[in-house]
Amino acid sequence: MSGQKRMQRPGGRGFGHGAALMMAGQKAKNFKGTLRRLLGYLKPFRLQLSAVIVAAMLSTVFMIVGPKLTGDAITKIFEGSYAKLKGIPGAAIDFDGIAQILILIAGLYVFSSLFNYIQQYLMATVAQKTVYHLRQEVNEKLKKLPLKYYDGHPHGETLSRVTNDIDLIGTTLQQSVAQFITSFVTIVGIIIMMLAISPLLTVISIASLSISIFFMRPLLKKSQKRFAEQQRTLGELNGHIEETYTGHQIVKAFGREKKAIERFDEINEKLYDAGRAAQFISGIVMPLMFFVGNLGYVMICVFGGILVTQRAISIGDIHAFLSYSRQFSQPVTQTANIANIIQSTIAAAERVFELLDEEEEAADAAATALTRPKGAVTFEHVSFSYGDKPLIEDLNIDVKPGQTVAIVGPTGAGKTTLINLLMRFYDVRSGSIKIDGIDIRELSRENLRATFGMVLQDTWLFNGTIKENIAYGKDGATDAEIFAAAKAACADHFIRTLPDGYDTVINEEASNISQGQKQLLTIARAILADPPIMILDEATSNVDTRTELLIQQAMNRLMEGRTSFVIAHRLSTIRNADLILVMDQGKVVEQGTHHELLKANGFYADLYNSQFPDKTAV
């Protein structure tokens, strides 16, 4: 099932405690090289990054000092109360000293929050600017990639690199980098403070953390497999649901509801088993950590109490140490989690850089420009291959200005490839294609493609008004020009019957108008562009007979006075073409008019008679 092949976006709900730590990130093939290249994007922000590091360190240091000062305040309260209890003359609690400590603590926390805000603001700015430049670079790259890249890569994969991977880079830079600095400083600072209070208690605290990590590791490995299984099964379930509900009419028409439900239940059961196992193991991790942590907590209390009785440390130091001990595991866990996130981020960056390193289209010669093209097109000994597979060999075509040329042939004969070569989506392997006697490789792609207008089988309309979609064919088009183009395309009538007329908004999938109406709008767009050469690729397919007649009328108007290339499977639509090229296996096997080719009783006649078996070939 196709659902098994779909990648699920990370970050979905349903992961239990400690899941972030468990989910091992995708690893990069060249970690060091990719990291070095990614850091290159941060070089312009060295000053801001230095400020981020300083702010993060100061914010963390001020926060770390807090528990020690709180312990000092507790010590003053305890000593004053104990002295009064023992009846020492003049004994009292030093409220002035306690007040000074509390004011100092408040000041430290205020400054800690201030530096944290500065750090977050600067890091957000750096991250967003870096991602902004990276997106710009990717967008520019996408404009320069040849058509063979898009033909050879799934669109979803490219979109994932442009959106998900770049978003992950931005999120990591904004959150994880600063968090990593903070966690590292916190770990070092806490260890220093704990050692300053008591080396013995520090050893106990670190030992308890080490024991918890030792017990967690086998659980993490097991849970990793379970979570991977859960994600895989979730992808399978999503794929099944998507297939079933997008094709629900077919499912109902063939009475396959029961099988669809059985398949759903089967996958859902697998997902339940995988999810239960994953959540159970992940649910053990945190209680185990708390259990070992609490054992360490008890040990610190016991040994700390002994040290207090021996006057080795004060009671306030015990309080401070317990606070540090509680805080110690959090940055360690965060650091391990960030290490996984960084692995995934570098892998994402590597995918983006692979896109940026793709081979670009050959640079334009731009030595010549077509100013007023007449529309004469010649193919001279053109050969082309996809990889090592020859597709077109020694092709010769001579098209006069204003002629309508129909290209027919079975699937895979090379019809669309011919158009791709003409538009320079691909370059010929040998030979040349000329327009008005000029080799198209001597023209810039922009100048060349401005010479053509295209109406394709797969209509493309964007989310906007009908007027905006038609105006896409010409910059600065006036309303009068848009209306005239719509009338010429036989689209004006149906547009004016819509509730909002030309201001009707076409939704994202253009599902609020029919297939035939979409095709008429694309023809109107081409008429508005008024190119000297037209390309019509299966423009009348997938529509009813009445709409086909309307489209055919619009196409006839569109082709008037200009060179036109028409790719068609319905041979009835190209009877009046000035020249019909019959292609098979990359070669023009026949050419001539409709009547000439029927009289020849060759390949074209066989194609025509297969479509109209009950008609006399005329």
**Could you report the per-residue pLDDT of 429-469, keeping only the tens digit for each?**
889 999 888 888 888 888 888 888 888 777 788 888 999 99
Query: 404-408 and 579-584: which strand pairing?
Result: parallel
C-alpha closest to that of 41 among 162, 135, 156, 168: 135
3-state helix, strand, coil in the chain (%, to 5): 65, 10, 25
The DSSP code sequence of 162-230 is: IIIIHHHHHHIIIIIHHHHHHHHHHHHHHHHHHHHH-HHHHHHHHHHHHHHHHHHHHHHHHHHHHHHHH
Q: Is the pLDDT of residue 337 over 70?
A: yes
Nearest-angstrom CA–CA distance, 145 and 161: 15
Nearest-5° angle of CA 353, CA 354, CA 359? 115
Nearest-angstrom CA–CA distance, 246 and 252: 12
Per-residue pLDDT band at 543 (split at 50, 70, 90): low
Per-residue pLDDT band at 546 (split at 50, 70, 90): low
Q: Is the pLDDT of residue 227 over 80?
A: no
Nearest-angstrom CA–CA distance, 494 and 520: 10
**How far is it between the farthest Cα atoms of the chain?**
130
**584: burial class by Cβ within 10 Å (0-12, 13-18, 19+)?**
middle
Q: Is the pLDDT of residue 23 over 70?
A: no
Contacts of 120 (CB under 8 A, 6+ apart): 178
Q: Which residue has the tokens 């605290």?
A: 205
Nearest-angstrom CA–CA distance, 216 and 197: 29
Q: Average per-residue pLDDT in the chain? A: 81
The answer to whether residues 423 and 598 touch, using CB atoms and an 8 Å cutoff, is no
Domains of the chain by start residue, with CATH? 28-356 (1.20.1560.10), 362-451+533-543+561-618 (3.40.50.300), 461-530 (3.40.50.300)
CB-facing half-sphere around the CA of 189: CA atoms within 13 A: 22
The number of angstroms, rounded, from the C-alpha of 215 to the middle of its chain's C-alpha atoms is 38
C-alpha closest to that of 484 among 433, 558, 411: 558
C-alpha closest to that of 144 among 454, 349, 356: 356
**Mean pLDDT confidence for 525-553:** 74
C-alpha closest to that of 384 among 376, 395, 392, 375: 392
Looking at residue 10, its pLDDT comes to 34
Per-residue pLDDT band at 106 (split at 50, 70, 90): very high
Q: Which residue has the tokens 């327009």?
A: 435
Q: Which residue has the tokens 């312009």?
A: 44
From edge to edge, which strands make up the β-sheet containing 438-439?
Answer: 389-399, 377-386, 430-435, 438-439
Query: Which helix (H) or strand (E) segment is 493 a member of?
Result: helix 492-497
Q: Which residue has the tokens 């990590």?
A: 213
Nearest-angstrom CA–CA distance, 233 and 227: 10
> How many Cβ atoms sit within 10 Å of the Cβ of residue 616?
7
Output the six-digit token pair for 142: 């996408």
Q: Percentage of the chain surpassing pLDDT 70?
A: 90
